[in-house]
Amino acid sequence: MSYSGSAAESEVRGGVNLRREKLVMKLFQSRVGGALLRRLADPEEIVRAGTAFTASQVVLTAVEFGLFTELAAGRRSKHELCERLGWHPRAAGPFLDALVDLGLLRRGRSGRYTNSRAAALFLRPAGPNYVGGLLELSGKRLYTLWSGLGDLLRTGIPEAGEERGGNEFFSTLYRDPAALRDFLTGMTGIATGEAMLIAARFPWRRFRTFVDIGCAQGALPVRLALTHPHLTGAGYDLAAVEPIFREYVESYDLADRLLFIPGDMFHEPLPGADVVSFGHILHGYGESVRRDLLAKAYAALPPGGAVLVYDAMIDPRRRDNLLSRLSSLNIMLEMRGGFEATLPECETWLRDAGFVDIRSCHLIGPTSMIHGRKPGPDPATRR
């Protein structure tokens, strides 16, 4: 019998190092070694990231069918939900139990389902903390939009149809009343939690008036008015937004303190107030446009007035910026000039516009707030 090749060579077959593979396999099979290996490099995390769309579809579909609204009225069995929502029983069980595992439903001993605390608080459309608008927007628009990520990488061109040719995103989107309402409701889902924190963490006692540029449905103006009775303000956006803004403001009985100002921020001066805010607006445009808008804000402010910007900005001091980077990709898919800036970049733009006392803080999720003051005494001290 003859042998060819060394022992080391015999351990390599078809480009695979058999010795190494056997060692890894034995470690993975060992209770102690397997636990250690998974702590160092866990394939489950990779699989979860790659298949996250499945859990996403479960949640988005539950919102689409109004499941959380149905369960807000009381406990329901699988059979009752199938009858009420028009489901076939074959998939209903795994679907409902997946929502239990996701922490959005509870299943009692009798097998009847109810909303979890989180779902009751944030997924009930009639509630003030409803974030389902963003999920509705995700199901109707963003899920499909993200299928164009490969094209974005190849061409740099947004996937959104509103940005095709010479179109401008908002002026195009706002021509469709149904799409406009969906979009504005989705923005309220994004901004509600942020607005609550902005109302608490910015020194509003030093100011009397504000205007929110690109106000959408009015999440920030409403939370500011609810938190600070001394404030009056306005939402500024394209004219098509006005009826949706007014409807939302009136639902909180704040029409006497919050006005709507129709206008186009690109073709006219910004309205004046003690504070000018930009929420999830600047991230849709290139640097030169952002600088122009900040200069307009500076001109609109009285001495001592303030500008406030909040976006999913990337913070180099934060270890995990994943959500901000995903947000950056999302706005790139939507708008040709869009990207999420870093906090230092935004600080530079405010400083170059003439603002002083620039400060920033993290709010929630990927969103941070940055604000600066126009030199001069606080506006409140002059009254």
Catalytic residue list: 283
Q: Is the dihedral of CA 344, 190, 224, 123 positive or negative?
A: negative
Buried residues in 25-58 as b, exposed as e (16+ CB within 10 A): eebeeeeeeeeebeeeeeeeeeeeeeeeeeeeeb
User: In this structure, are residues 361 and 318 in contact, taking their beta carbons and an 8 Å threshold?
Assistant: no
For residues 261 and 29, give the distance between their C-alpha atoms in angstroms, rounded to a whole number. Answer: 66
User: In this structure, are residues 177 and 241 in contact, taking their beta carbons and an 8 Å threshold?
Assistant: no
Any bridge partners for residue 158, and if so which?
none
State the Rg of the chain over Cα.
26
For residues 262 and 307, give the distance between their C-alpha atoms in angstroms, rounded to a whole number. Answer: 20
Region of residue 146 (phi > 0: left; psi between -120 and 50: alpha; otherwise: beta): alpha
For residues 236 and 214, give the distance between their C-alpha atoms in angstroms, rounded to a whole number. Answer: 6
- Strand, coil or helix: 367: strand
